[in-house]
Structure 1
């Protein structure tokens, strides 16, 4: 006997088959994007913005939740030295963190602002925020940041103690301020991306096999509240995270050459 599944039942079974640990796979990133290094949703749209890192084009890409490229914007007046993360503000402006520093010799770092990204067609120019490090901070690798109360919070990528720097969201040149240092428990704790919820109550820090959820903090004392580890039970080169809503995050893979590059959803 052959049973025919109704479309709704088929979709439920398909959804259930796409579980990866606590993550739900919702799409596979377009193969043209070899190194999707970030994820950001601007003003509650259905587009996930991403970039590629060092050695790739000066382009910002918009994907749907299935991983298809639906927007491709050439940012003509800047160079991709090592783009690593994205964030945005309430006015719909998108910010590119050009602060990757694998050899730890870099002295000048940049955040690029593209105004009203959702209205841009295929070409844009960007304004520049330039920063250097405070005297008591050595040159480090950065891969993650977010925007809170008109300040950028930028995280160093370290196995043990990492630093959090603060840079104002103002065009021009600034010396970053050291906010704090912290050591997350356990091994393999390099932070690859970060975001804060729209209500400002939850921070997420991404790693390849887990994230850290920070809550119950005041002002920018992020680690003086509750710090929880969320284990994905799944390991891949996850490089982008952003909030879809205050309780849900989108996570993206960068190409590791071992498996498909996916877009995941996780309910916190």
Structure 2
């Protein structure tokens, strides 16, 4: 009888699971715009220059090369950074002048003590196939000198943005057990050795680490919106105060089926572009586009609502204290 019940349950649930899977696939691929050149099968960072041309970098295993893409995804141009190494390039960002920053800060095993960011000139000003970089170095003071304990492994990094002449870094959490927290650090935007300053933290999820690892970040051209990317979602932060991006409004945009999504950037203040890495030639290696004014958002937190709730609680506490106070 029990076996019969299991068979019936399986027969019912399998079609439901299949439908959910194909709906998830459809959700992602309706955003697809183009497939990138196979040479960028491990695309890990993207950025648009001031002429709205898309540039990309590969993960570790490639040289210190930037690729400019045509609109059809083919490679138009390659630029080598002559004084750089690609130990583990993970993300790109730019400042208001159009200078690009290339993050060589992948740290899967949490063993790298000093990490590197390369700052290059605005790509529209690079006239040859080579350029040199200004070199920024940083370390995490909390990391210490000994072996990092499993529960403290939050020093991997694949995401950063430039904001008000500083660089803001969002860690890729590898803690054991996994606690889902990405930490926000800050360093300068110029050649120097920095101790990364801890600013804040945000929890994505605690279910499966590969579903909620932060793999890229982007900030809108008007500097009012921040986005973090994981394999299933875009996390949108708005109405933040100061440089702790996590203190404002937070919403989540579902990106459908799980793929190895590794890079995101803004095309304009309303349009996001993200990519995923190719997986054994079966899927991935694509560019996708999301319009924020058309995307379905799942609201996680409203700063104003939290502020109102806090003020209301404080007023109730004061009223209660007044009621309990002895009458004069």
> After the TM superposition, which residues 132-211 of structure 1 pair with which residues of structure 2 at under 5 Å, given as runs?
132-135=139-142, 140-158=155-173, 160-185=180-205, 187=207, 188-211=211-234
Equivalent pair of 1:22/1:266 in contact (CA under 8 Å): no
Segment of structure 1 superposing worse, 143-152 or 255-264: 255-264
Matched with 1:214 is: 237
CA distance in 1 between counterparts of 2:193 and 2:30 reads 40
CA distance in 1 between counterparts of 2:71 and 2:237 reads 26
1:51-109: CA deviations, max 9, x gaps? 11112111011113321111200111111111100011122211100100011100011
Query: TM-score if structure 1 supplies the norm length?
Result: 0.88
**How much does 1:196 deviate?**
0.7
> After the TM superposition, which residues 219-238 of structure 1 pair with which residues of structure 2 at under 5 Å, given as runs?
219-238=242-261
**How much does 1:139 deviate?**
6.4
- The CA RMSD over aligned residues, in Å, is 1.9
Matched with 1:13 is: none
Matched with 2:138 is: 131
Give the secondary structure class of the aligned counterpart of 2:124: helix
**How much does 1:23 deviate?**
4.9
**How much does 1:192 deviate?**
0.6
Matched with 1:263 is: 287
Could you say which structure has the larger radius of gyration?
Answer: 2
Higher helix share: 2
> After the TM superposition, which residues 47-58 of structure 1 pair with which residues of structure 2 at under 5 Å, given as runs?
47-58=53-64
Note the residue ranges of structure 2 that are not aligned, 5 or more in a row. Answer: 1-24, 145-152, 174-178, 293-328
Give the secondary structure class of the aligned counterpart of 2:39: coil
Query: TM-score if structure 2 supplies the norm length?
Result: 0.72
CA distance in 1 between counterparts of 2:77 and 2:26 reads 28
Equivalent pair of 2:259/2:284 in contact (CA under 8 Å): no
Matched with 2:265 is: 242
Number of aligned residues: 250
Equivalent pair of 2:44/2:262 in contact (CA under 8 Å): yes
**How much does 1:235 deviate?**
2.2
Equivalent pair of 1:19/1:25 in contact (CA under 8 Å): no
Which structure's relative contact order is higher, taking Cα pairs within 8 Å and 6+ residues apart?
Answer: 1
Give the secondary structure class of the aligned counterpart of 1:37: strand
Runs of 4+ displaced beyond 6 Å: none
Give the secondary structure class of the aligned counterpart of 1:229: strand
1:172-219: CA deviations, max 9, x gaps? 111110111221246321111001101111111001111101111111
The structure-2 alpha-carbon separation of the partners of 1:249 and 1:160, relative to structure 1 and needing over 3 Å to count, comes to same
Higher strand share: 1
CA distance in 1 between counterparts of 2:256 and 2:86 reads 33
CA distance in 1 between counterparts of 2:240 and 2:30 reads 26
